[in-house]
Amino acid sequence: MVAGVLFKQRLWAGLADGTVTCTFRRWRRPLAKPGGRYRTPAGVLRVDAVAVVDPAEITDDDARRAGFAGRAELLRELDRYGDGPVHRVDFQFAGPDPREALRQADTMAEEGWAELTAGSPASTGRAATGRGRWRRSA
């Protein structure tokens, strides 16, 4: 399964072109796991590593890899979220969201439609009779 993860819109292009390759989050416990795949508006990211880090050890280079101008800007952003543990999440762009291609497809084979509608109230006639698990109580 591919879960969703939030990034500010200003970072989306960097996620897609590979210039943003890590993020820092204040979490009580890790909410991402190595090998996990996460959807973003830029596409799918694959997590390589998750680690608790000391904010004092974050460098300017780390901040730039996270899409910030420097360490001070990143620390100001982290301070907005309290004083919990800071997790560093390293990731790489894994490609476009596969759902985009499905949205563009405007045709489906007859077998696909049959599978989607099998057992539905419309295909079994249960909707009209009010019998079966599709019945609604008034």
Domains and their CATH numbers in the chain = 3-96 (2.30.130.30), 98-133 (no CATH)
In 3D, which of 7, 19, 4, 9 has the Cα closest to residue 97? 4
pLDDT at 100: 75
In 3D, which of 1, 81, 10 has the Cα closest to residue 42? 10
For residues 120 and 73, what is the distance between their CA atoms, to the nearest angstrom? 54
Claim: this prediction has a pTM higher than 0.75:
no
For residues 130 and 126, what is the distance between their CA atoms, to the nearest angstrom? 6
pLDDT at 89: 97
pLDDT (tens digit per residue) in 72-127: 999 999 999 988 999 999 999 999 887 777 777 767 677 776 777 776 666 555 55
How distant is the alpha carbon of residue 56 from its chain centre?
Answer: 28
One-letter amino acid at 19 equals T
